[in-house]
Amino acid sequence: MPRVAVVGVGISKFGRRKGVSLRELTFEAFKEALEDAQIKKDEIQSVITGCASDEFAMANQPGAQIQEYLGLNPKPHFRVEAACASGSMAVRAGWMTIQSGLADIVLVNGAEKMTEVSTPKATEIMGKFGDSTWEYPFGISFPGYYAMLASNYLATYKESGKTDLAKIAVKNHYYGTLNPKAHMQKIVTEEQALSGFIVAYPLRLHDCSLISDGAASIVMVSEKVAKRFDKPIWITGLGAGSETHAIGRRKSLTSLESACVAADQAYKMAGITPKDVDVAVVHDCFTIAELIAYEDLGFCKRGEAPILIRNKDTYLDGLIPVNVDGGLKAKGHPIGATGVAMTAEIVKQLRGECGERQVKGAKIGLSHNVGGSGQFTAVHIYEA
């Protein structure tokens, strides 16, 4: 099977971007990606945009608005929606477009502008990603979903504790200070993480990711076109899984089956094992999500995730560095942009371009992007 490579990446500054529209945010990332790839926009043959919510965009066709603003009409274009995994599913669609032979050069955008509405309204909008019959109408929100996972995990694995969640917040906030694109560049101590106000027990303020504005873009090419570029990064494994929409029908509340399925597919396609991964970005919308991801991705056995964070094995110089860009926790989580930004981060890591947070000698990277409370999960493997 011919391979597909990423040859250009761009990420806007994440944060509360007042006075900047969704289209303008995407242009920041788009311009950077084209400059990185050293190609002209006329060379792009097809475009895919990940954007999760019409309500945040205040438009029913935000992708079409972005396409026009970037000056890419009348090139083929469509929008992908998979809740918080929209970005990674857009990357998957880009890979499929190239493998189908429909295009050799594809632009993938991910974008979301979430801060135009109040925090309660943003929480309400995201709550609608849950089951609209038995959950959302009764007031459950996404902090509530992940609080259920955290409560079940802590009750099942007695050796785990709230301090393990706090340690993840400490790690990711530290690395956020080393990422100039991150929303929050602020050190958080373990004491601060443990004393923050409760959002949804046992999750506290610093266990929760930020409501952010941001965009990311990547340029993907076929193997025959990749010969033009000095440092193509190959997508060698793709996995995707799904979960029941209603969380009450899940087999487990200490794991995401969709992530396990996606990881297994990606590892098999790439011909690697979890031990081969040099650097990973995982979906830490809440600190418990990162803890569970360690196990779902096979970085450790069930119940052993707390050991990884206690031993700092997921730090820059650890056994498997995870979220050394600050993760969703500190970098921010503009939901449609997150998955594309994950791809961009891994590409930069494998090209050795991450400065103070560079994983030395990284050759194989992984991204793990969860949509909703696990209804969608995408895992991608990348190789230099």
Identify whether residues 349 and 361 lie together within a single domain.
Answer: yes
Is residue 105 in some structural domain?
A: yes
Identify whether residues 175 and 57 lie together within a single domain.
Answer: no
Is residue 273 in some structural domain?
A: yes
Instruction: Name the β-bridge partners of 84.
Output: 82
Identify whether residues 112 and 188 lie together within a single domain.
Answer: no
* CB-CB contact of 142 with 43 (8 Å): no
What pLDDT, in 10s, does the model give residues 137-177?
888 889 999 999 999 999 999 888 889 999 999 999 999 99
Please tell me the predicted confidence (pLDDT) of residue 133. 84
Identify whether residues 240 and 278 lie together within a single domain.
Answer: yes
Question: In this structure, what CATH number is given to the domain that contains residue 286?
Answer: 3.40.47.10
Identify whether residues 61 and 11 lie together within a single domain.
Answer: yes
Is residue 201 in some structural domain?
A: yes
Identify whether residues 70 and 153 lie together within a single domain.
Answer: no
Question: 77, 173, 183, 333: which is the annotated catalytic residue?
Answer: 333
| pTM, entire model | 0.96
Identify whether residues 352 and 371 lie together within a single domain.
Answer: yes
Question: 84, 260, 285, 300: which is the annotated catalytic residue?
Answer: 84
The last residue of a domain, from among 179, 198, 233: 233
Q: Is 380 a catalytic residue?
A: no
The last residue of a domain, from among 183, 199, 233: 233
Tell me how many domains the chain contains.
2
What pLDDT, in 10s, does the model give residues 335-347?
999 999 999 999 9
> Per-residue pLDDT averaged across 359-365, rounded?
98
Identify whether residues 100 and 176 lie together within a single domain.
Answer: no
Is residue 130 in some structural domain?
A: no
Identify whether residues 56 and 201 lie together within a single domain.
Answer: no
Range of 261's domain? 142-207+236-383
Is residue 193 in some structural domain?
A: yes
- Give the whole-angstrom CA distance, residue 12 versus residue 31: 10
- 3-class SS letters over the chain: CCCEEEEEEEECCCECCCCCCHHHHHHHHHHHHHHHHCCCHHHCCEEEEECCCHHHHCCCCHHHHHHHHCCCCCCCEEEECECECHHHHHHHHHHHHHHCCCCCEEEEEEEEECCCCCHHHHHHHHHCCCCCCCCHHHCCCHHHHHHHHHHHHHHHCCCCCHHHHHHHHHHHHHHHCCCCCCCCCCCCCHHHHHHCCEEECCEEHHHECCCCEEEEEEEEEEHHHHCCCCCCEEEEEEEEEECCCCHHHCCCCCCCHHHHHHHHHHHHHHCCCHHHCCEEECCCCEHHHHHHHHHHCCCCCCCCHHHHHHCCCCCCCCCCCECCCCHHHHHCCCHHHHHHHHHHHHHHHHCCCCHHHCCCCCCEEEEEEEECCCCEEEEEEEEC
Identify whether residues 227 and 199 lie together within a single domain.
Answer: no
* CB-CB contact of 259 with 241 (8 Å): yes
What pLDDT, in 10s, does the model give residues 252-292?
999 999 999 999 999 999 999 999 999 999 999 999 999 99
Query: What is the pLDDT of the chain when averaged over all its residues?
Result: 96
Identify whether residues 100 and 224 lie together within a single domain.
Answer: yes
Q: Is 333 a catalytic residue?
A: yes
